[in-house]
Amino acid sequence: MDAARPDAGPVLAAGPSSRARLARLARQAALAAPGVAGLSAGPGQLVVAADRGEALTGVTAEARSDGRFDVRVAVVVCEPLPPLHDLAERIRMRVGETAAAHGLGELLGPVEVSIADVAAPAALTGAEPAP
């Protein structure tokens, strides 16, 4: 019966889930925020979202009972340290705007910003730091 459905097909051929799309967008938005040197999965590699076999480090998106997703980004902050409240607000705003621009604004729940580490300016090479 599935063969009659136009959208039926192998599972692997399906597009990314809303959760994965939201996690990817949140990751991009956080990386683009000023004062953020990179994202970190943490010592136990706990802050990782999976997207069809790919690991998105430094971000998680967890489903809530109201249908939205809790998003967490674990950022490595550049020195000199920016005001953390402002930094978190900027990241939240960027994540919200990016999600809304991609039609996922209604799925976005609270955004947790975790400061995973502080990177010295000399250590910043533009590459994402090792988790």
Partner 1 sequence: MILLGRILARLLTFLVLVALAIAGAAVAVFSIGGGSGTFSLPGLAELIGLPALRDHVGDLLGDVEAGGGIATITALCALGAVLLGLLLLIGTFAPRRERLVVLAQDEHGRLAARGRAIGHVAAALAQQTRGVTATKVKVRPRRRARGGKLRVKASHPRTADPARVRTDTQSSLEPLTGAFGLSARVEPERGKAGKRVQ
The footprint of partner 1 (CB under 8 A) covers: 42-44, 46-47, 71, 77, 81, 84-85, 88, 92, 110-118
| Least distance between partner 1 and beta carbon 81 (Å) | 6
Nearest distance in Å: CB 44, partner 1: 6
Give Cα separations from 101 to 26, 30, 48, 129 (angstroms): 12, 15, 23, 28
Shortest Å, Cβ 7 to partner 1: 34
- 33 or 88: CB nearest partner 1: 88
In the complex, the smallest distance separating the C-beta of residue 90 from partner 1, rounded to whole angstroms, is 12
Nearer to partner 1, 56 or 75 (CB): 75
Return the number of the residue (19 or 92) whose C-beta is nearest partner 1.
92
Q: Which residues contact 71 (CB under 8 A, 6 or more apart)?
A: 22, 23, 26, 59, 60, 61, 95, 108, 109, 110, 111, 112
Rounded Cα distance between 54 and 51, Å, is 5
